[in-house]
Amino acid sequence: MTWPKRRRLGLQEWGFPTAIIAAFALKGMHMMYPWQSAALEEGWHGDNLVYSAPTSGGKSLVADLLLIKALGQLRLNGMPARGLVILPYLSIVQEKADHLSFILGALGCSVKGYTGGLDEHTPLGVGGERVAICSMEKAHVVLDRLTLECRLGEVGCIVVDEAHMVADPNRGPGLEAALSKVLASRHRPQIIAMSATMGGLQTLSEWLQARMFLTNFRPVPLTEHVVFQGTVYMKVHGNVDVDSPLVRLRTLDRCFDRRSDPDGIAALVAEAEGQSVLVFCVSRRACEACAALLTDRLGSRRPEDLRLTLARQELLADMRGELGGEPTPGLSDCILHGVAFHHAGLTVEERTGVEQGFRAGIISVLTATSTLAAGINLPAQRVILRSFHQGPGPVRRAQYLQMVGRAGRAGLAQTGESFLMGRGAPGGQEWEAVSRLLVEPVPPLTSQLLPGERMNTSRQDAHLVEQGLRTLSTCPYSARTSGARSWVVHGAPTAGRLCHWPGTG
């Protein structure tokens, strides 16, 4: 895409309050990238917006700025607009709440993140916070309640992060139903939907009646590698080999014997020479075992740094103070050597301490489960997938892009590196699967509210039926059935509002 010669890259050029500009500046954001300015323009006048940009490309800033603009407007009964931010996982709600609290605090706008505590109030309750941040499931309940109470008009903007989750077979139906009800509302809030790994972008934007924006911009270029039997291969672009996009690059420098480092993970981490490394592991137990292995292998190889040692001790002291006791077994020893593990089994205090330590460079190596790739802003110089399998099965294309997208830190490195560690010999079954993974497109989004497939198969779907949402389509998001026409009734059946879902002829 060729950008116009003149773009408004400074926030002051868009008329944002001085306090907001100063808050972003304290977070290191002084100027936008040209693509961010172009995307901001697409949603500036209140149109719904669907946009996609690579992980680490700066997607969140566009949504933040459009939310801030919406909060400055008056909505139902002349009241200041409110906002709802929908995130895919509870583990990232608090980080987003802290970020927006810092930015919006300068204007006196209250922000609250809802993480599932028993003592929580109802999100966007009467007289409550201006901006609520919650999971998809909680958001569905909130939007239902606001609709029943005739208060949906109070909401000026709804931000949906990782919008590709609408096609998730388990969690997608609730999000799809919630957005359908918003589209049927008389007082429609602006919908901002974003993702780094979204197929069928145009179809989704037509369903949401939204403007569409797409970019492949990354502030730091990414080089992708795989490792098989101690040999490093690099992904090359273009039709170099009809069977595989990989070319042999080098042999992994085995700085440890094979008995102590059988798959070469310690050697790959050691190559980074103290720069930040993020290692994705298949499970919580694998995270902890990998962190212990790296602590044991790398701890004695690194020169003693008094400043880092004191900083790690201080980090642990703060963590113990927050916990009122000792951290999870094994975590303290790892942190003292600049290594840590991160997964949902840790307490909020432990995860927060680990994340802060990694961002500050006190922790240089972090092992984590795939959940970390879904939204927590922890970029690293080098990202390693220790296995082709992540979670219950082989890594999917969208999941892979989320993970390797964490490689590269703008302003700190010129390139980012990713490594996927495979098993078996080159040319074998896993080699072929990895080769396909590196080049296959992201699957197109498909509706999860299809008759005879998902409807009435779970409590969630039964609830949707009770709420009056009826799907009369064969394929709302994509034309899987040739010649079919698809329609959806939004809201109660008595409302009679029909919205044509595109892509079906």
- Quick one: 105 and 151 in the same domain? yes
* Cβ partners under 8 Å of residue 284, min gap 6: 343, 344, 345, 369
- 494 falls in which pLDDT band (50, 70, 90)? very low
Select from 180, 214, 248 the last residue of a domain.
Answer: 214
| CATH number of domain containing 210 | 3.40.50.300
Select from 179, 214, 249 the last residue of a domain.
Answer: 214
Strand partners, 222: 416
- 297 falls in which pLDDT band (50, 70, 90)? confident
- Quick one: 408 and 487 in the same domain? no
- 469 falls in which pLDDT band (50, 70, 90)? very low
For helices 348-360 and 306-323, give the axis angle rounded to 10 degrees: 160
Looking at residue 461, its pLDDT comes to 38
Select from 214, 231, 262 the last residue of a domain.
Answer: 214
- Quick one: 207 and 297 in the same domain? no
Looking at residue 303, its pLDDT comes to 61
Looking at the domain assignment, is residue 6 inside a domain? no
In this prediction, residues 151-157 reach a mean pLDDT of 95
Looking at the domain assignment, is residue 454 inside a domain? no
Looking at the domain assignment, is residue 82 inside a domain? yes
Total domains, the chain: 3
In terms of pLDDT, which residue wins out, 197 or 360? 360
- Quick one: 280 and 338 in the same domain? yes
- Quick one: 101 and 65 in the same domain? yes
In this prediction, residues 368-384 reach a mean pLDDT of 79
CB contact at 8 A, 340 and 334: yes
Q: With a cut of 90, say whether residue 85 has pLDDT above it.
A: yes
Looking at residue 458, its pLDDT comes to 36
- Quick one: 290 and 401 in the same domain? yes
* Cβ partners under 8 Å of residue 406, min gap 6: 55, 56, 278, 373, 378, 379, 380, 383
CB atoms under 10 Å from CB of 124, counted, come to: 25
- Quick one: 278 and 382 in the same domain? yes
In terms of pLDDT, which residue wins out, 12 or 120? 12
In this prediction, residues 463-482 reach a mean pLDDT of 31
Looking at the domain assignment, is residue 163 inside a domain? yes
pLDDT tens for each residue of 202-235: 888 989 999 999 998 888 889 999 999 999 999 9
Distance of CA 340 to the CA centre of its chain: 21
Buried b / exposed e over 450-465, threshold 16 CB at 10 Å, is beeebbeeeebbebbe
- Quick one: 197 and 252 in the same domain? no
Q: Considering the chain, what percentage of its residues have pLDDT values greater than 70? A: 83
Q: Domain range holding 486?
A: 459-500
- 465 falls in which pLDDT band (50, 70, 90)? very low
Looking at residue 302, its pLDDT comes to 63
Strand partners, 470: 489
Q: With a cut of 70, say whether residue 453 has pLDDT above it.
A: no
Looking at the domain assignment, is residue 446 inside a domain? no
- 42 falls in which pLDDT band (50, 70, 90)? very high
In this prediction, residues 106-130 reach a mean pLDDT of 87
In this prediction, residues 309-330 reach a mean pLDDT of 94
Looking at residue 485, its pLDDT comes to 24
Looking at the domain assignment, is residue 185 inside a domain? yes
- Quick one: 155 and 287 in the same domain? no
Looking at the domain assignment, is residue 20 inside a domain? yes
Looking at residue 445, its pLDDT comes to 84
CB contact at 8 A, 416 and 383: yes
Strand partners, 214: 52
Average pLDDT, the chain: 83
Looking at the domain assignment, is residue 487 inside a domain? yes
- Quick one: 232 and 155 in the same domain? no
Whether the CA torsion 282, 283, 288, 293 is positive or negative: it is: negative
- Quick one: 194 and 282 in the same domain? no
In this prediction, residues 231-245 reach a mean pLDDT of 77
- Quick one: 173 and 228 in the same domain? no
Backbone dihedral angles phi then psi of residue 210, each to the nearest 5 degrees = -120, 155
CA distance 303 to 305: 6
In this prediction, residues 142-164 reach a mean pLDDT of 94
pTM of the model: 0.81
pLDDT tens for each residue of 253-292: 877 777 778 889 999 999 988 789 999 999 999 999 999 9
